[in-house]
Amino acid sequence: MADSASRRRQWYHLRVRLAAESGSELRRLAVQRRSTVSHLVRSLLLRELNLETSGAVPDESAIREMAILIAVELVLKLQEASMPGGVTLSRRLLEDAARAAISRIELVEQQLQRGRGR
């Protein structure tokens, strides 16, 4: 008897109300993954809780700071382009800045995908 009581205490019961459309999508996703709705909701909640505690997803301030850094880099490259050297130097510097910005964005996307994969 004590064993079944301890098992009951291990679970936290949750009741959720969804719009009909969301409920249909949830059932469709559960069928697609060959799972129960309850198991799907548990796995989604656990994944979100793990992402919050692991810090795998950059927060809004980190994303904002990265955007500022990219903008500053582009401004610096434009200032360099206004120096003597002509259009060729300007285009080369802008392409370098664009490549650098793209590589940073790809790095963030990879980190986000790794975080989602957990």
The string of pLDDT tens digits covering residues 77-86 is 777 667 776 6
DSSP secondary structure letter of residue 82:
T
C-alpha 28/C-alpha 6 separation (Å) is 34
**Phi/psi of residue 85, nearest 5 degrees:** 150, -15
Which tens digit of pLDDT belongs to each residue from 32-73?
A: 988 899 888 888 888 878 766 665 666 677 778 788 888 877
- Look at 18-22, 49-53, 99-103 and tell me which has the smallest mean pLDDT: 49-53
CA-based nearest residue to 77, from 56, 98, 103: 98
Q: How far apart are CA 5 and CA 7, in angstroms?
A: 5
User: Domain segments of the chain: what residues?
Assistant: 1-54, 57-118
Share of the chain above pLDDT 70, in %: 75
**CA–CA gap between residue 106 and residue 73 (Å, rounded):** 17
Average pLDDT taken over every residue of the chain: 77
Q: Which DSSP symbol is given to 50?
A: H
In the three-class reduction of DSSP (H, G, I as helix; E, B as strand; rest coil), residue 45 is classed as helix
